[in-house]
Structure 1
């Protein structure tokens, strides 16, 4: 705008900006700007994850294929590794330490193999989850996507590996006299619940591992302790016979023991409901829901910090 001065000259002055006096935050709100990399709302985060579902599946399949690509036996190691572990445990715990007490060989061998396969499912999900962010920083820093895609994808990879291995588990059960029946249908809900539990646990350790990469070095020791406390190689009921009831119940209701025992109950004819703790299905559902929901929210809360610093 212009105005005439008393001496006849014309002075030009700038019109006041309509945004003058607004703070940076107010300007951003006015023009719809948001912080780069800001954490979306929980509902929006779930929507973004659903939109990346094809990526999650493809990434898990690619990781599964590449896992043994340098080995001559390739994907057969998915089955050979837990079977070899089961053979070692049978030699040490079954033959030397007589951990099979109270069970015939026809029950103990599928009991042991089932325990090894089911525990390996959780163990592998945790180990891959703890490195999900710290081991993929290039991907995290280069592309924008919901970071929960990575631990979920790794858990899905382990589920696919277990499904491949289940064929051998079925063969072992049938070979020792446990033939398919209606109880085998229970395998499906057991796997669904354990997958939810594993995914929640993977999300938790993924956030922890992103901040503290050394956790990946400590995790094998924690998992080994968990394995020995979960009854992979022995029946908790039989081994702790005569001990206080509360000790038996505490060990029986730990999540891995719950899912192992449910799988054994479904597969093995000689493994009856007397080996299961009370309200076993309610406990299995509780662990799955609490860890999956809690782990998802816990991971989401640090979404904007992954890959920074």
Structure 2
């Protein structure tokens, strides 16, 4: 008996490869997103293969629905997926079938009516301004190149509201540190050009702390590490002179949190959440915060208004003589 063809070599497997190529080349999706979609779709191909399906035209709506149920239930090789992870997998599956329908490879999209599970709505966790200061100070212990880099990284994440992927993708040409005397004239000392999801560009003002930390890193730290590499234009480089990885950025933040003795779980996104929350607490308009964060819809930004409301409630409860019964 002839053994079954590996899933990635079936007509449907090749279609998956074509779609991922389309996302990378035409849509500019990040390697992180592509890697996640690739894992999800490999599992989808395995599931369909177990049902004898190897071509896109053989997939029916019930197969997509069954795959979603399979993700939520888990199996011997995979634990049950949380709603957020299952939703991402369904998004990948729907994107694939939509692509094939648009390209004319199939007549109908079998995933059209299959909705991803709704993740529970969670408010982002934001640090207090005091804890942010403790974290950043803990990242810059000593005057080594690594310490200068880590402080500059955290200042950019918090001071500019950057995603970690945006920060590590920064090139030196994306910075405009302006003139040092600008602050004395009441101006912000610089701006940074960030490239968000889908390579959407935005320009974000840079405060004095971020500007000074970047200046110190670029002058006193980066040259020593960069000369070990092959001339990368990256702002943030590792010990070998190459572009800093996402994982290394996470490690730097975790190490700083440990040194600062901060008990909360802290990630690069925690600093982005804190950036947005502190702006709103300071009276910034939600649409201004939307532009600074690079959100396509103000509805995405409005979740931070709930965080600010919670902060106001806490202050009221602690401060107002009539707050407690």
Provide the TM-score with structure 2 as the length reference: 0.26
Higher helix share: 1
**Comparing both chains, which one has the higher relative contact order based on Cα–Cα distances under 8 Å and sequence gaps of 6 or more?**
1
Q: Which has the larger radius of gyration?
A: 1
TM-score normalized with structure 1 length: 0.27
